[in-house]
């Protein structure tokens, strides 16, 4: 019996695979490019080569599976909402056919509201697809990834700014992806939970952007200021960064949902949803080396 990971080469999937292998679990991974996961295979993972949208690939991967970890890939095509739902539904049918007993879905705060929140809009149909067929499903509704600050490294290095549409009083759950992988491993290897549930993954504390800027100031050793921008200004900035119009529109819709409160967490903070890595720790170990390198170049 194995645990199937559909995205083994990402910044959540890869550490998740390694944690599971280290704990002695059998792991099956899916990848179109064997060379990208060759190290995981050497560590003991079983590789099924192919795409998650290919039914035969998923059918082979789910043979004898006890659990599935499902992470919807980032939007890469204009029809990503329909694509994400269809691929999840196709896999869910195979989950049912193979009698897979547990599914853990990576979701997001705000997923409960469905349409109107950009890429996050894709996640409620994905949650529902697996809950319709599997007796035990946990949707991990994660907060704002601390790694998203890596998108701001140029502005941090050159101007000392971070940007968002949120008001300065708006608090966010900020979580490191390493902690999400740890939480996923805990849930996948815990046989005590049953039924369908939504579990927040919230980081150590809720923060406003000005509070985050103050933390980054200390960690980076230089002043950082939060700059609130308008939704349409954000759209223009995304297009200016080279994003195609459909992708800029999708993320702009998500930022609008943040401003309107539709990306607020439905799950209250608790001991179970609180994870350990602080923004200060993340900034010092992950963000600062990148910013320093840009400033030095």
Q: Note the maximum CA span of the chain.
A: 56
Under 8 Å between Cβ of 79 and 116: no
The domain that holds 87 is classified in CATH as 3.40.50.720
Specify the residue for token string 């991990």.
140
User: Beta-carbon neighbour count of residue 54 at 10 Å?
Assistant: 16
SS (H, E, C) 240-286: HCCCCHHHHHHHHHHHHHHHHCCCCCCCCCCCCCCCCCCHHHHHHHH
Question: 87 to each of 64, 71, 247, how far by Cα in Å?
Answer: 20, 11, 20
Full domain range(s) for residue 189: 2-143+176-201
Residue 82 lies in a domain: yes
d(CA 146, CA 274): 14
pLDDT at residue number 276:
98
Model confidence at 297: pLDDT above 90: no
Establish if 184 belongs to a structural domain: yes
In total, how many domains does the chain have?
Answer: 1
Mean of the per-residue pLDDT values for the chain? 96
- pLDDT of 41-91, one tens digit each? 999 999 999 999 999 999 999 999 999 999 999 999 999 999 999 999 999
pLDDT of residue 241: 85
Q: Where are the alpha helices (DSSP H) in the chain?
A: 13-22, 38-42, 55-61, 80-98, 123-131, 153-158, 177-188, 209-220, 231-240, 245-260, 279-282, 288-296
Q: Compute the average pLDDT of residues 232-245.
A: 91
Question: Residue 109 in contact with residue 264, Cβ under 8 Å?
Answer: yes
Task: Answer for the pair 279, 174: CB distance below 8 angstroms, yes or no.
Answer: yes
Q: Is residue 44 part of a domain?
A: yes
- 212-221 residue pLDDT tens: 999 999 999 9
Q: Is the pLDDT of residue 282 over 90?
A: yes
Is residue 54 one of the residues assigned to a domain?
yes
- Residue 88, domain member (yes or no): yes
pLDDT for the residue 1: 84
Beta bridge mates, 138: 104, 197
Q: What is the DSSP letter of 36?
A: G
- pLDDT tens-digit map of 94-119: 999 999 999 999 999 999 999 999 99
Asked, for residue 79, whether it belongs to a domain, the answer is: yes
What value does the mean pLDDT take over residues 220-246?
93
Global confidence as pTM: 0.96
Three-class secondary structure of residue 77 per DSSP:
coil
283 in a domain, yes or no? Answer: no
194 domain residue, yes or no: yes
> If pLDDT is split at 50, 70 and 90, which confidence band does 129 have?
very high
Q: What is the CA radius of gyration of the chain?
A: 19
CA distances (Å), origin 270, targets 157, 201, 203, 252, 275: 35, 10, 11, 30, 10
Tokens 């290897």 correspond to 189
pLDDT over threshold 90, residue 173: yes
pLDDT of amino acid 249: 95
| pLDDT > 90? residue 177 | yes
């Amino acid at each position: 019996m194995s645990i199937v990971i559909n995205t083994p080469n990402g910044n959540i999937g890869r550490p998740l695979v390694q944690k599971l292998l280290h704990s002695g679990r059998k792991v099956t991974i899916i990848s179109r490019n064997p060379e990208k996961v060759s190290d995981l295979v050497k560590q003991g993972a079983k590789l099924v080569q192919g795409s998650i949208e290919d039914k035969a690939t998923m059918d082979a991967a789910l043979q004898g599976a006890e659990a599935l970890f499902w992470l919807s890939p980032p939007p890469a095509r204009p029809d990503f909402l329909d694509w994400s739902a269809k691929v999840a539904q196709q896999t869910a049918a195979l989950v049912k056919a193979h009698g897979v007993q547990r599914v853990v879905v990576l979701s997001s705060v705000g997923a409960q509201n469905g349409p109107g929140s950009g890429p996050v809009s894709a996640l409620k149909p994905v949650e529902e697809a697996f809950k319709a067929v599997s007796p035990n499903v946990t949707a991990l509704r994660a907060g704002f990834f601390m790694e998203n600050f890596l998108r701001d490294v140029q502005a941090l290095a050159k101007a000392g700014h971070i940007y968002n549409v949120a008001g300065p009083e708006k608090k966010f759950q900020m979580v490191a992806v390493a902690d999400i992988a740890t939480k996923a491993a805990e849930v996948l290897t815990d046989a005590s939970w049953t039924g369908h549930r939504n579990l927040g993954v919230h980081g150590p504390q809720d923060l406003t952007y000005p509070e985050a800027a103050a933390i980054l100031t200390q960690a980076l050793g230089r002043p950082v200021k939060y700059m609130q921008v308008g939704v349409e200004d954000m759209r223009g900035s995304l297009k200016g960064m080279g994003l195609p119009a459909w992708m800029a529109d999708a993320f702009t819709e998500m930022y609008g949902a943040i401003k309107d409160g539709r990306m607020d967490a439905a799950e209250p903070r608790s001991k179970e949803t609180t994870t350990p890595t602080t923004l200060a720790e993340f900034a010092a170990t992950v963000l600062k080396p990148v910013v320093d390198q840009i400033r030095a170049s």
